[in-house]
């Protein structure tokens, strides 16, 4: 019975995160290339931990707050409220493995509910350190 319960919980978590359509994901490699090229620069919003943002973040990205809580989602809505609904936006977190991250899915849902049509979510399989910093992609520290 215990194993069945663990399976149900795991399957539920996977289903939640797998509901972000693959076409709405962007890989670290593709985002790094895009930023390096200087074209199509998106609005990049970090929707995870403030401590993580201070330690390392993508240059030019803005800290919004955790997408897992109401305050973070309220800050996200406030930040984008006057933007054109076709604005290119990239959301990312990187706090933990993708299938455990509590932040990106609620933030993505909030933007789509507001009518944003050009939102990508940075697919960070393990964590920001492993999948971005350790790959040598551009990184900034502090605010």
Structure pTM? 0.86
| Number of helical (H) and strand (E) elements in the chain, helices listed first | 6, 5
What six digits make up the tokens of 12?
């539920």
pLDDT of residue 68: 96
> Looking at the predicted structure, is the pLDDT value of residue 17 above 80?
no
Determine the average pLDDT of the residues in 37-42: 87
5 three-state secondary structure: helix
> Looking at the predicted structure, is the pLDDT value of residue 11 above 60?
no
Q: What is the pLDDT of residues 42-77, one digit of tens each?
A: 999 999 999 999 999 999 999 999 999 999 999 999
* CA gap 34, 57 in Å, rounded: 16
Mean pLDDT of the chain: 89
Q: What is the pLDDT of residues 92-111, one digit of tens each?
A: 999 999 999 999 999 999 99
Range with lowest mean pLDDT among 12-16, 50-54, 138-142: 12-16
- Work out the number of other CB atoms within 10 angstroms of the CB of residue 81: 8
Which domains, from first to last, does the chain contain? 2-135 (3.40.250.10)
* CA gap 43, 59 in Å, rounded: 11
More confident residue, 49 or 8: 49
Reported confidence tier of residue 18, pLDDT bands at 50, 70, 90: low
> Looking at the predicted structure, is the pLDDT value of residue 30 above 50?
yes
* CA gap 66, 72 in Å, rounded: 5
Q: 62: which strand partners?
A: 45
* CA gap 96, 58 in Å, rounded: 16
Rg (CA), the chain: 15
Q: By percentage, how much of the chain surpasses pLDDT 90?
A: 81
- Tokens 């019975």, residue located: 1
pLDDT of residue 38: 85
Q: Name the residue among 89, 106, 96 with its Cα closest to residue 24.
A: 89
């Amino acid at each position: 019975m215990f194993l069945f319960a663990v399976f149900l919980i795991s399957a539920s978590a996977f289903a939640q995160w797998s509901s972000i359509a693959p076409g709405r994901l962007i890989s670290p490699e593709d985002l790094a290339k895009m930023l390096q090229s200087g074209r199509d620069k998106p609005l990049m919003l970090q929707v995870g931990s403030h401590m993580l943002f201070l330690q390392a973040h993508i240059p030019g990205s803005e800290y919004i707050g955790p997408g897992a809580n109401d305050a973070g989602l309220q800050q996200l809505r406030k930040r984008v409220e006057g933007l054109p609904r076709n604005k290119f936006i990239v959301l990312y977190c990187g706090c933990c493995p993708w299938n455990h991250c509590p932040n990106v899915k609620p933030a993505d849902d909030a933007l789509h509910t507001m009518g944003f049509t050009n939102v990508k979510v940075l697919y960070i399989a393990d964590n920001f350190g492993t999948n971005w910093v350790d790959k040598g992609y551009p990184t900034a520290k502090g605010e």
